[in-house]
Structure 1
Amino acid sequence: MDEEKQINRNSEGLEKISLGSITVSIDNAKNGANHPNVRHVPRQETVDVWSILSGSLLSEVRTRGTIKFKGVKNVYRDPRARFVVVDDNADTTKVLEVFTKGWKLGKPKLLVNICGGDEKFEVNNHLKEIFRHSLLHAARTIDAWILTNGLNSGVMKFLGRSLRDFAVSSANRRGKNTFPIGIVDLNTIENGSCFRQSHNSNSRCEVVYDTMHRDSDPDGDTTVLLNPYHPYFVLVDSDSEQSRSKCNEFRCTFMEKISNMKLMGTNTTIPVVTLVIGGGAQSIHIAHRLAMNRSPLVILAGSGGAADILEFAYRYVQSGGGIKREDEIKFTSGLNARLQSSCGPEDRVELLAKCKDMVRRKYNVAIYHLHGTSIPTGLSLCPVHEDIVEAIIASLPKGEKGNQLHLAVVWNLLELVKRYLKENRSWKDDDLHRSFEFALCNDQTDIIDQFLQHGINVQDFLNQSKLASLYAKIVDDCLLKDMLEEKRFQDTKPLYDRHEDYTFDNPMRELFIWAVLQMRIKTAKLFWFEDKSPLGGALLACKMMKAMSEYEQDPQQIDQMETLACEYERWAVEILDDYYKEDRRKTSLSIIRELEDWGRVSCLCLPHRKNETDYRSSSGSKPPG
């Protein structure tokens, strides 16, 4: 390491380790329980992430910096967009690291690639609703990235306005869930030379970009402004005369890299879907390349241009792929007529061949019709969907039965999860278990509840190995993780017999304790309702929270633990009162009965602090008169 590690000790035994501008303090003093405490001290100065990135990564970036759009009202928290300039042959893996390491964007749960033309685009109210209330809302809910050409023309100009309106209406801010990213051919941008002013990737520049000014390049070809409502740009610089094609190739390769990445916490790859809206010849070329790579497509029929041409082509596809021989002439003449209005004679021959190539094989395609018009029954491989998110899910590969359910869970789409569970009562256990585990780890209480209502067999789901896996996935920066790590190094005796398929007599109790220890009270309540001894569970949860608060150093965490302890205590008091109203003598027996699931202790043994006045004062805790 280039930077010198400095270790200083003060009189209180506080060991401070400085690594550059990052400072971490570790308190060596022990509290009453001999438990070491880790305290996170605010950074003394901002870390420049770019300064610690590898040289090979920075070599892919020719210029980096920020863009301040002049003449546009800012709708994001940060008024400046971020950009990098890269060559058309740049390593897309390293460019992707710019997003995750340089810009600190979390990996997406879905990538939606918007494919549309730069030509004039007619907008209707239905399309506005789709963009603003369906696509963008879903993208925000799902944690999706939206990939565009970043230009302020055609479909993307309309998308930019939708992004602006959505940001204002939903109080959406950069750094949250919706990340529109423009991958732009630098040669098509008006005033593109201002982004080439520096070739030193270690220095940042700020570009003030006038969105009100329009001009032409020296050759007389009109260039296009950047769309000011994109917070991130990758500007692709190419010396080739076919710079737009080179940029599209870079974009497709970038998408392929993302499609090979794993969703966080799963073995499922990140879904990548292309939404074809309008567009011209270039959009058909892109759609063909993606289709040949089996990348899913959603065609927005009724939006004109390439989308309508492709929708027409897929009308003639049989269920197994290909076109009936008797439909060949009608298919070819219809496509020719539609292609004639959007491209020249030479391009038409190539595009016709590509359209035929796409429909002759069975690929992952779904059609969303803008006007709700149905496609002739029996001819279409692709069903028409009323919801854009369902169309996206339907376009994804269907290699396994539980794929759609799992994605609905990963994307936290409660209504879709409800529908899938209701429509199919014969799910494979592996499909249910995979999705249920994801919901548990991500504290999706409502979805967990749906699985329990569906009747998932928790006894089969939870064995020793699975429970250990759930505890292993606890977030690092928390007291529980520290305590588990300390216990793991102290004890050499295994907690359980080493049988991975060992199951529990009461799996609901194990999941209840797991949720309580992570302070997930809503999830804990689901399993508490299912437990045979809810009184003991509530009191033990109260006791655990109060015990953990003695180890915690963060005042906010201590307050939260004490609040939760009071809530669990309230649960116990309410149960005792209900018992007491029904049968006083039976209540006394319930109180003194040893609880097998809670270490053979009685409810009277659980309260251990003088301030547990609610429990002591409860009518149910008093001897019957």
Structure 2
Amino acid sequence: MQVISKPTSASDTAQQPEQNNAIFIQKNAAAVASNKPDPWSEDGFPMVCTLVRGMPGTIELVYRKIQQEIPVIILKGTGSAADIITFAYEEISAKNEKEFEDGYLKVELARRLLDEYPLLKDNNVKRNEIRDHIMSIVKKADQGKRKLLTFIDLYSGTGSLNDFHKFILSALLQSQKSVTGSKVNAQLKRNLVLTLDWNLPDLALSEIFQRNDDIRYTLPAELFDKAVLGKKLEAFVDLFLDRDFILHRYLKSEKLLDLFNKAKDKEFLTTTSLEGILGLTGDDEEVPTDFVENGLNKIVKRLTDISHFFSKHEMDCNAMGIYFGDKSDKGVQRQRARAEKKALRHFIIYAVLMNRHQLAKILWKRSSEPIPLALICCMMFKQLAPYCHESYQRLLIEKQAKDFSDCAVGVLDKAFNEDSRRTFEMLDEKHSRKIFRKKKK
């Protein structure tokens, strides 16, 4: 992303060298010259402008950007043009009356412009033109749900520049027009990609999902891929699952294999599972093609003593919506729920084997089988620890095992406090009814 300083006229710069100019933050410099009323350029790059201080020419520049419906962030408290526009916006928002505008606001704006830019005293026409530009800017700032102006108060507790990237993306999202028809999904996908790229899940929730809560949107698999494979994007996985992303329709055997192969950091998997448990050389960039049916089942068997955990055929049938058993509506619903449970278990195993502790925790919290799954994760981490070459990593893995052990105990304590009888019944369930069955010898 480029940061371009957009200067005003040479005379303005010479007359007031201490003033700063507007800063335009964008991804496409060519879009600056565009008159198209859209914050996105023709080649798909968004643009947001930021105003810090500024001169009369800067106000004219902001006016043109607002006319083009390009969002502007104004840093309140930096002085000059930024504070004059902020003042006008706050005043007109408080009293949107024609008499107030003509009788007070225009007069006060003219006075402030003269105080800030003394050279305008000799040019009433220019002063009034700039004043009218300010009036136009603040009147067009709010258009229903759309906002073209965003103000950051540097002297308030909520205006921290540490969150400046969040203000930029929020300004862009809030400035967008509502779309209909086939454009809805395209806009939502484009916006979600931006929040993923900037790692702002809270903004995805507030500015995309909650603002469009009445819109049914099917999340594309590639966005879920991005959330799973991206660095520190686990919160998006949680968010997408909250939006009814169907995991078993996503996690076919080929997709699981793909997630292993496309992972950015495979060192833990290679050291512990491929080399340590399976005895492979670890030289290949990709896991074996039969890894889901054979490799994974051998690894899970070694770590937990559970046989045939993965079934490639069943995973692929579930992903295609082919369920076996009762064909009644209720029967199909039960099979779907069962398929979703299994997909969640498979995904948790993936997270543990990749040493994605946070992802495993997020998925575990969504499970209807928290105690056995927590114990499975604990067991796997504990058994994987000896395969770690570095002592610090062994300690970390053992700590993660302890974390899941504590989770299981915590759930058990809570269940006992809420219903001790049901808890004892759950613990006393017969082996044949447990969710993970060992292969009969």
TM-score by length of 1: 0.39
Distance 1:353 1:307, change over 3 A: same
Deviation at 1:593, TM superposition (A): 2.6
Give the distance between the partners of 1:309 and 1:534, measured in 2 at CA. 57
Give the distance between the partners of 2:266 and 2:395, measured in 1 at CA. 18
Partner of 1:365: 148
Distance 1:471 1:574, change over 3 A: same
Give the distance between the partners of 2:382 and 2:64, measured in 1 at CA. 60
Deviations 1:215-262 (CA, angstroms, capped at 9, x unpaired):
xxxxx99988xxxxxxxxxxxxxxxxxxx99xx79x64x7444999xx
Q: Say whether 1:601 aligns with 2:384.
A: no
Q: Determine if contact 2:268/2:355 at 8 Å carries over to the other structure.
A: no
The share of aligned pairs that are identical, in percent, is: 19
Deviation at 1:560, TM superposition (A): 1.9
- Give the alignment partner of residue 265 of structure 2, picking from 458, 463, 476: 476
Q: Determine if contact 2:261/2:287 at 8 Å carries over to the other structure.
A: no
Distance 1:257 1:327, change over 3 A: same
Give the root-mean-square deviation of aligned CA atoms.
Answer: 6.2
Q: Say whether 1:459 aligns with 2:257.
A: no
Distance 1:312 1:478, change over 3 A: same
Higher strand share: 1
Partner of 1:298: 73
Give the distance between the partners of 2:371 and 2:226, measured in 1 at CA. 29
Partner of 1:555: 391
Give the distance between the partners of 2:380 and 2:17, measured in 1 at CA. 65
Any stretches of 5+ residues in structure 2 without a counterpart? Answer: 32-43, 178-186, 275-281, 293-311, 322-335
Any stretches of 5+ residues in structure 1 without a counterpart? Answer: 1-92, 97-110, 118-184, 189-219, 225-243, 261-268, 373-385, 606-625
Aligned partner of residue 54 in structure 2, secondary structure: coil
Partner of 1:545: 381
Deviation at 1:437, TM superposition (A): 6.8
Higher helix share: 2
Distance 1:316 1:489, change over 3 A: same
Deviations 1:344-389 (CA, angstroms, capped at 9, x unpaired):
32864774686588679779522538699xxxxxxxxxxxxx8676
**AA of the residue aligned to 1:398:** Q
Q: Trace 1:59-208 onto structure 2 (pairs within 5 A).
A: none
Q: Say whether 1:491 aligns with 2:280.
A: no
Deviations 1:123-182 (CA, angstroms, capped at 9, x unpaired):
xxxxxxxxxxxxxxxxxxxxxxxxxxxxxxxxxxxxxxxxxxxxxxxxxxxxxxxxxxxx
Deviations 1:265-292 (CA, angstroms, capped at 9, x unpaired):
xxxx887644434432243255346546
TM-score by length of 2: 0.51
Give the distance between the partners of 1:593 and 1:272, measured in 2 at CA. 60
Q: Say whether 1:505 aligns with 2:280.
A: no
Give the distance between the partners of 1:468 and 1:328, measured in 2 at CA. 68
Q: Determine if contact 1:539/1:569 at 8 Å carries over to the other structure.
A: yes
Distance 1:555 1:361, change over 3 A: same
**AA of the residue aligned to 2:148:** V
Q: Determine if contact 1:291/1:297 at 8 Å carries over to the other structure.
A: yes
Partner of 2:217: 429
**AA of the residue aligned to 1:601:** K
Deviation at 1:543, TM superposition (A): 4.2
Deviation at 1:297, TM superposition (A): 0.9
Distance 1:531 1:313, change over 3 A: closer
Distance 1:434 1:115, change over 3 A: farther
Deviation at 1:463, TM superposition (A): 0.9
Give the distance between the partners of 2:369 and 2:69, measured in 1 at CA. 53
Aligned partner of residue 480 in structure 1, secondary structure: helix
Partner of 1:284: 59
Partner of 1:398: 176
Give the distance between the partners of 1:277 and 1:392, measured in 2 at CA. 14
Deviation at 1:548, TM superposition (A): 3.8
**AA of the residue aligned to 1:299:** I
Partner of 2:328: none
Partner of 2:361: 525
Distance 1:270 1:479, change over 3 A: farther
Deviation at 1:457, TM superposition (A): 1.9
Give the distance between the partners of 1:116 and 1:412, measured in 2 at CA. 32
Deviation at 1:511, TM superposition (A): 3.2
Distance 1:221 1:460, change over 3 A: closer
Deviations 1:312-354 (CA, angstroms, capped at 9, x unpaired):
6668999xxxx99x98999877765554442432864774686
Q: Determine if contact 1:283/1:306 at 8 Å carries over to the other structure.
A: yes
Q: Determine if contact 1:417/1:447 at 8 Å carries over to the other structure.
A: no
Give the distance between the partners of 2:248 and 2:7, measured in 1 at CA. 45
Q: Determine if contact 2:56/2:81 at 8 Å carries over to the other structure.
A: yes
Q: Determine if contact 1:542/1:565 at 8 Å carries over to the other structure.
A: yes
Give the distance between the partners of 2:351 and 2:79, measured in 1 at CA. 51
Distance 1:586 1:278, change over 3 A: closer
Distance 1:540 1:258, change over 3 A: farther
Distance 1:429 1:294, change over 3 A: same
Q: Determine if contact 1:418/1:450 at 8 Å carries over to the other structure.
A: no
**AA of the residue aligned to 2:151:** Y
Q: Determine if contact 1:258/1:270 at 8 Å carries over to the other structure.
A: no
**AA of the residue aligned to 1:463:** Y
Q: Determine if contact 1:275/1:297 at 8 Å carries over to the other structure.
A: yes
Give the distance between the partners of 1:476 and 1:447, measured in 2 at CA. 19
Q: Trace 1:219-258 onto structure 2 (pairs within 5 A).
A: 252=24, 255-257=26-28
Q: Determine if contact 1:115/1:276 at 8 Å carries over to the other structure.
A: no
- Give the alignment partner of residue 85 of structure 2, picking from 307, 310, 334: 310
Q: Determine if contact 1:539/1:572 at 8 Å carries over to the other structure.
A: yes
**AA of the residue aligned to 2:267:** C
Q: Determine if contact 1:301/1:369 at 8 Å carries over to the other structure.
A: yes
Partner of 1:176: none
Q: Determine if contact 1:464/1:500 at 8 Å carries over to the other structure.
A: yes
Q: Determine if contact 2:269/2:354 at 8 Å carries over to the other structure.
A: yes
Partner of 2:277: none
Deviation at 1:567, TM superposition (A): 4.2
Distance 1:297 1:459, change over 3 A: same
Give the distance between the partners of 1:327 and 1:493, measured in 2 at CA. 72
Distance 1:419 1:461, change over 3 A: farther
Deviation at 1:601, TM superposition (A): 1.9
Give the distance between the partners of 1:275 and 1:401, measured in 2 at CA. 24
Larger deviation, residues 505-514 vs 336-345 = 336-345
Distance 1:584 1:554, change over 3 A: same
Aligned partner of residue 505 in structure 1, secondary structure: helix
Distance 1:282 1:422, change over 3 A: closer
Aligned partner of residue 176 in structure 2, secondary structure: coil
Larger deviation, residues 472-481 vs 440-449 = 440-449
